[in-house]
Structure 1
Amino acid sequence: MGAIVGFIAGLISFHASIVPTGYIQYGMFRLAAFILQESLNKWMFLSIVVVSFVAFLVELRIRIKDRRMLKVFWLSFVSILFFFLSTWALRRYWLPEKSLLMNILIHAEMFLLAIILGRVLMKMKWKTSPRLLRIRHTRKPGLVLIVFLLLLNLGIIIDRRINSPTGSNIVLIIVDTLRADHVGCYGYSRNTTPSIDRLSLNSILFKNAISAAPWTTPSIGSMFTSQYPAVLGFRDKPIIIDQRFLTLTEIFKENNYVTKGIISHAHVSSALGFDQGFDSYDEENAKGHGHISSPSITEKAIRFLRTCKNRKFFLFLHYFDPHFDYILHEDYDYYPDYNGPLYSSQPIRELREKAPQMTADDARYIKALYDSEISFTDEHMGVVLDELKNLGLYDNTLIILTADHGEEFLERGDYWIGHTKKLYQEQIHVPLIMKLPGHNEQEIMHEYLGLINLMPTIVDYAGLWIPGEYRCEGQTIDMSDIEELGNKTIFSQTRRWTSLQSVTWKGWKLIYNPIVKSRQLFDLQKDPAESRNLARENDKALNAMEVVLQKWNSQIRSKKTQAEEPDFAEEQKRHLRSLGYLQ
């Protein structure tokens, strides 16, 4: 009976899970089989256990003749159930997840339950099996369904062995808040990134990569789906990525890759749908802006690499430490002589409040803290790269290193520190380095390139394909066709505290505010700092860029998604409001 109930519940769960994804429409039947396997395994096991336990309790009620003993049993059972639920609630909502006290209590109560049940069983004389398990006409169908489940699991195991992927391993590293001009191989004066610089020596170095948005969730969401933030449904808040958008990871899981994500902030959490396609998604380091996460991210990555070195894998690492709050690391103190009022780990709210009174020395100190964070992160990323070499994986692994956005430090005269609300280069110009398998020389690409092209490019270089029914906004980066690469238009946007769109094309950049109809036109080749607005001086370039932007707006208008906002806990909401992520 339990198997039948579980099978029906599993099918209902499978239907509810598969419909939003579009896997059947995209022909991704292996992913559909994984969902079916997970649904049936969970619900059939749970139903068999529950039905068996209910039958056990009913049989006890029938067989126990002593009323006093029966009262003791039910009292004990209710007490244990109460203790279990209450300690679970304490552990889930009030005490840390790894509380030693809670672990001791839970193990103690389970031990107590075993003693009580054992005592009851010792007082009884069993002659037949529980009656509820002997319901007519359910045994054979139940056995058939159990055999079906076993065959489904066996088939998936055999498929993974027979159809194991033959492409390269993939390591995607995204460093949060890393602006390109603070990286050594991008011309920075400080030696902030020796590990990244070494990686670039046998990689393709894209000098002018542009992110789709100046804040984390829409930028990484765009990278993983090859869709513009507006198409995904982003406005001014984090949203849940709609399951109908295929992610980069789902492509690799469909092709039997082991997929692992290790992240360090809630803005790329499973609550927002970023775990789509991952076998395992580690969010343990998503502990807020004051948490130093790089050592743990690296440790977890090394553990995964050593475990899966003989299998094909897709590994996503998200390093968060360069993001504010800016923390000084002693080994990387780039301004030891500073004696001003600012300090390490100072909350971003205080820095912004003090910004109008800051001196050039204060601004220099903030950048020094930021660079300290970058160097600290670079050190730990270097350990991962070294481990790839030690395991013999480095040469045959596709390694991609990039960032979601940059950071502004009072460059624009409006006392802004941080990101999210502008589209100048300091916020959207990010590093992009791709080490191809077997590639041992450095190639430098100066053409402007949008990170929305990352998903199809990674899939293509891995020798895989994206279903034709799924329409990417980006295209594969073809390094053999430099002229075509230079003709690509790049769009970025933000609606945080403002509404801005930008288009970059052939070295020109237009920033447009559709609310106040303002236009800023820059020649990035002659003016990379965007200090001179040419909107009133070059009508020809302005008109051409406006036509490109208008055409893009008309194309994406019909594709926009009505996105669902996540249900953050109250504590998370307060924290995000304090940082300006929620209103």
Structure 2
Amino acid sequence: MVALISQTWHNYSRTGPGIPEEVERKFRWHMVYAGLRLALWCYVIFLLTALPGPIFWQSCALLLNIEFKTSTAFFFGLCSSALVIGYFFCYQLLFSPGAIQLSFQYRFSRLYGLHDALTPAILKSIKFAGIFVWVTISGLSLFSAALPETVYIFAINLIYGWLAISIRVKEPAPLESKPKSPSFPNIVMIGADTLRCDRLGAYRYRRNLTPNIDKLCADGVLLGNCITPVARTAPSVASLFSGLWPYQHGIRDNYPSAEECRLPHPSLVQCLKAQGYSTLAVSDWAGADFGKIDFGFETVSLPEDQWNLKLLFRQGPSVIRGFLSLFTNNSLGKKYLPELYYLAGMPLTGKLGRECRQFIASAAREERPFFLNLFTSTTHVPFTCDYPYYKLFTPENYRGESKFIMTKLATPCEIVDKQQRGSDYFDVPQIINLYDSCVRQFDDEVGKIVDFIEQSGLSENTLIVIYSDHGADFFETGCWGQGNTLLGKDPSGRIPLVMKGPGMPKGVKFEPVCRAVDVMPTLLGWLKLDVPEHLPGTNLMPYILENRSPNLYAYQETGIWLGKVPGLHPEQILYPNIVELLDIPDQQAGTLVINAKYYPTVIQAKSRSIQDERWKLICIATHRGPVYQLYDLETDAYRDVASEFPEIYARLQAQLAIHLKADPYWNPAPTTPSAA
């Protein structure tokens, strides 16, 4: 315990983005509270892991008829704690090494030798050997000890038994009898943060990553050219579930205020609730926005807002965070330390899938239709996946620091620094290996959910939708991340959308341009419900059934840059980096938002674009006014051809002007340069 506190003191690093020191100092008492709370939990874990040691020593003293010394019992307690903690460390090192690396402040490659020596069989043998030893010594103690010691040992066994039962994982069984069909079909939406459309089998990727999603495509519809308006989670899902453009619903990036989270019109979820649907949102750390934004879900199994300084303090410094995370990846961790259970960067793919199947089994027994939205961070940076997925594509002899995750993303400064780096700084082939492994794990979980639906007799009355909030950029546009430049055929702005269910045609690959704002009117149209007149999107069902183009224009805008990313225009309007940019106007809530004095500049600095099925026009906000670039997405997706096609340029500029005029923060006038 003393060693842990000492390491924490010398290597302090909290999660989340940096903010000005004067703002952070206002929360010093909450930081003290958070530290004491985590210290208490550390003490509890040390106590529970140390108790077997004294009992073992007591058994030995009784059987060998030697004196029981407290000092020796204390030594055995330390040994017991070290052995148990060591086992949990090795378990996580094998099955979820990325979870350790997220909080590890040393060169992780030092652990590769230990990792290589571990196997599931070895850990299983150690586990059963430990249980056998414990049962044996506690049994001997119960028969040999006096009454007070017997009561003590019995109580300890009850505690351990309760812990074992509490974290037990139970997979729900499919329904044995076909449930009654409700008045409306069920809807199951399964989303993956940062899933690229080109990883699907329909696009002949070099690896077979999505066999289960490919089956859904074969039995349903793949919308392969769906464009998100902002390649950032909060504004993207806001548009998906509200059917509004970002400048209409008001969420322009990942740091919305409480006021901005109140949508101006009923969401898709609220429309379904009005028709009698039961609604549920399930997610890990990447899906906190489904609770933060007022979509109207009846039931949520979600983390707290991840952009909250109080939460970030409660996650603690890296050393304590890493230690406690060894023990919180279970139902008890979710209940008592949810800030660590939902730790950013650590997907909960299998647990979320199991929770969804449990909800489906429960909801299907009711007469109401259900709407389930699962959103997982499986494919989100730092591309952490579980055993054995992380081994699928990484060469066996690879010994670099990116063996398990995209490295050096532990602190805000590292993230800002990496955002500004070029491809030569990264091990891009290995990062792609990790990303592809994550895609495969997500697909396997999709397969389990789909199989459960089919085995429960629900497939004929259930629409399954696979989606993402945005894709990922692996330097196709000069930088990594998503939604930073919009240049050319930006892969981060294109999302996969697969729909399979009653009334959907089979095997349709729908390639015309469509938009995230079309999802809500399309689902309402599929249900034969009235589409609200205020929605700017289009009901795609008539076009899908005939597989013809609706001739739509897709609008996009960039997100907030963490730093000066590669690929920006040399005269691009800039603003302070993320450390200076964020503020906490409501100290009681602790929510991080964009500083009000910078907000207009942040929105003005966004690049905007409009595209059809071949052409894309970008408007870049510079200090000398808007700069336009035109790209031919079919022939040369990254060369400006504006001077060669003036008629197309004029047509797209007129379409983009409709959105620019509707944006209250759009300012075409030149601005005074500001430091990044």
TM range, smaller chain: 0.5 to 0.7
Any idea what the Cα deviations from partners look like across 1:150-204, whole Å, max 9, x if unmatched? xxxxxxxxxxxxxx96121111122110111122223211111111111111011
Q: Show the counterpart of 1:492.
A: 556
Worse overlay, 392-401 or 476-485: 476-485
Residue 457 (structure 1) aligned to one of 505, 510, 522: 522
2:430 alignment partner AA: Y
- Contact in 2 for aligned 1:447/1:486 (Cα 8 Å): yes
Deviation, structure 1 residue 343: 3.5
2:37 — aligned with what? 94
Matched, 1:519 2:628: yes
Q: Secondary structure at the match of 1:209?
A: strand
Deviation at 1:268, TM superposition (A): 3.8
SS at match of 2:643: coil
Report Cα offsets for 1:464-511 as digits up to 9, x if no partner: 23455xx11112113447697341111111241341111112421112
Does 1:213 pair with 2:277? no
Question: How has the CA–CA distance of structure 1 residues 453 and 93 changed in structure 2, closer, same or farther, with 3 Å as cutoff?
Answer: farther
Q: Which amino acid aligns with 1:420?
A: G
CA separation of 1:555/1:313 partners in 2, compared to 1, >3 Å: closer, same or farther?
A: same
Q: Tell me how far apart the structure 1 counterparts of residues 512 and 539 of structure 2 sit (CA, whole Å).
A: 14
1:239-250 to 2 correspondence within 5 Å? 239=256, 240-250=260-270
2:444 corresponds, among 348, 367, 379, to: 379
CA contact (8 A) 1:238 1:267 kept: no
- Give how far 1:331 is off: 3.0
1:552 and 1:97, CA in 2 relative to 1: closer, same or farther beyond 3 A? farther
Q: How many Å separate the matches in 1 of 2:398 and 2:35?
A: 44
The superposition leaves residues 68-101 of structure 1 with CA deviations (integer Å, 9 ceiling, x where unpaired) of xxxxxxxxxxxxxxxxxxxxx9899935999997
Q: 2:362 aligns with which of 301, 307, 323?
A: 307
Instruction: Point out the more displaced range, 212-221 or 302-311.
Output: 302-311
Change in CA separation of 1:254 and 1:361 when aligned onto 2, cut-off 3 Å: closer
Q: Distance in 1 between matches of 2:530 and 2:250?
A: 25
TM-score by length of 2: 0.55
Deviation of 1:533 after TM superposition, in Å, equals 1.6
- Could you tell me whether the CA contact under 8 Å between 2:465 and 2:497 is conserved in 1? yes
Indicate if the aligned counterparts of 1:327 and 1:369 stay in contact, CA closer than 8 A. Answer: yes
User: Distance in 2 between the 1:211 and 1:93 partners?
Assistant: 43
Q: For 2:379, what is the secondary structure of its paired residue?
A: coil
CA distance in 2, matches of 1:100, 1:380: 36
Equivalent position to 2:485, from 413, 422, 437: 422
C-alpha change, 1:508 and 1:486, in structure 2 (3 Å) is: farther
Q: Which residue of 1 aligns with 2:302?
A: 283
For residues 501 and 620 of structure 2, the distance between their equivalents in structure 1, rounded to whole angstroms, comes to: 39
**What TM-score, normalized by structure 1, do the two folds share?**
0.63
> Conserved in 1, the CA contact under 8 Å of 2:518 and 2:540?
yes
1:311-390 to structure 2, matched below 5 A, reads 311=366, 312-332=369-389, 333-336=392-395, 337-345=397-405, 346-348=407-409, 350=414, 353=417, 356=421, 359=424, 362-390=427-455
- Aligned-pair identity in percent equals 26
CA distance in 1, matches of 2:373, 2:41: 25
Match of 1:265 in 2: 285
State the distance in 2 between where 1:97 and 1:474 align: 52
- The correspondence of residues 113-262 of structure 1 with structure 2, limited to 5 A, is 166-239=183-256, 240-262=260-282
SS in 1 for 2:388: helix
Structure-1 residue corresponding to 2:324: none
Q: 2:617 aligns with which of 510, 513, 534?
A: 510
Does structure 2 retain, via aligned residues, the 8 Å contact 1:448–1:507?
no
Which of 334, 353, 358 in structure 2 is aligned with 1:298?
Answer: 353
Root-mean-square deviation over aligned CA pairs: 3.3
Distance 2:632 2:386 in 1: 38
How far residue 557 of structure 1 moved from its aligned partner, in angstroms, is 4.0
Q: Determine the structure 2 residue equivalent to 1:400.
A: 465
2:270 corresponds to which letter in structure 1? E
Deviation of 1:525 after TM superposition, in Å, equals 2.6
Deviation at 1:405? 0.4
How far is the alpha carbon of 1:421 from its aligned partner? 1.7
Matched length: 405
Q: Is the 8 A contact 1:397 1:436 kept in 2?
A: yes
Are the equivalent residues in 2 in contact too, given 1:174–1:403 (CA < 8 A)?
yes
Deviation track 1:3-32 (CA, whole Å, cap 9, x = no partner) reads xxxxxxxxxxxxxxxxxxxxxxxxxxxxxx
Secondary structure class of the residue paired with 1:536: helix
CA deviation after TM superposition for structure 1 residue 548, in Å: 0.8
Is this contact kept in 1: 2:251–2:261, CA < 8 A? no
CA–CA distance in structure 1, aligned partners of residues 505 and 535 of structure 2: 30
2: CA distance, partners of 1:310 / 1:93: 45
Partner Cα separation in structure 2 for residue 214 and residue 513 of structure 1: 16
Query: C-alpha separation between the residues in 1 aligned to 2:263 and 2:222?
Result: 32
CA contact (8 A) 2:245 2:517 kept: yes
CA 1:91/1:99 → structure 2, altered by over 3 Å: closer, same or farther? Answer: farther
> 1:287 deviation in Å?
1.9
Distance 2:665 2:480 in 1: 35
Aligned twin of 2:512 = 447
2:571 aligns with: none
**Distance (Å, rounded) in 2 between the aligned partners of 1:91 and 1:356:** 34
Further displaced range: 417-426 or 533-542? 417-426
> How far does residue 310 in structure 1 lie from its aligned partner after superposition?
3.2
1:383 CA displacement: 0.7
Kept in 2, the 8 Å contact 1:396–1:438? The answer is no
The one-letter code of the counterpart of 1:303 is Q
1:452–1:268 Cα change, 3 Å: farther
Distance 2:502 2:285 in 1: 30
Residue 576 of structure 2 corresponds to none
Give secondary structure in 2 for the equivalent of 1:197: helix
Secondary structure of the residue that 1:368 maps to in structure 2? Answer: helix
2:483, 2:557 within 8 Å by CA — same for their partners in 1? no
Query: Would the alpha carbon gap of residues 550 and 263 (structure 1) be closer, same or farther in structure 2, given more than 3 Å must change?
Result: same
CA distance in structure 2 between the partners assigned to 1:98 and 1:166 by the alignment: 48
Q: Is the 8 A contact 1:91 1:99 kept in 2?
A: no
Correspondent of 2:500 among 435, 438, 451: 435
CA contact (8 A) 1:181 1:188 kept: yes
Asked if 1 retains the 8 angstrom alpha-carbon contact of 2:620 and 2:627, the reply is yes
CA distance in 2: counterparts of 1:263 and 1:401, whole angstroms: 15
What do the CA deviations read for 1:200-255 (whole angstroms, capped 9, x no partner)? 11011112111111110000000111111111223454214224321110011111
Q: Where do 5+ consecutive residues of structure 2 fail to align?
A: 1-31, 46-180, 304-337, 562-604, 667-675
Distance 1:97 1:279, change over 3 A: farther
**Distance change (3 Å), C-alpha of 1:487 and 1:93:** farther
Structure 1: where are the runs of 5+ without partners?
A: 1-88, 103-163, 560-582
1:356 CA drift (Å): 5.0
Between 276-285 and 185-194, report the one with greater CA deviation.
276-285
Alignment of 1:554 onto 2:661: yes
Does the residue aligned with 1:458 lie in a helix, a strand or coil?
Answer: helix
Partner of 1:156: none
* Aligned-partner Cα distance in 1 for 2:650–2:631: 13
2:460 is paired with a residue whose SS is coil
Deviations 1:37-86 (A, max 9, x none): xxxxxxxxxxxxxxxxxxxxxxxxxxxxxxxxxxxxxxxxxxxxxxxxxx
**Quick one: distance in 1 between partners of 2:225 and 2:630?**
18
Question: Contact conserved, 2:224 with 2:509, CA < 8 A, in 1?
Answer: yes
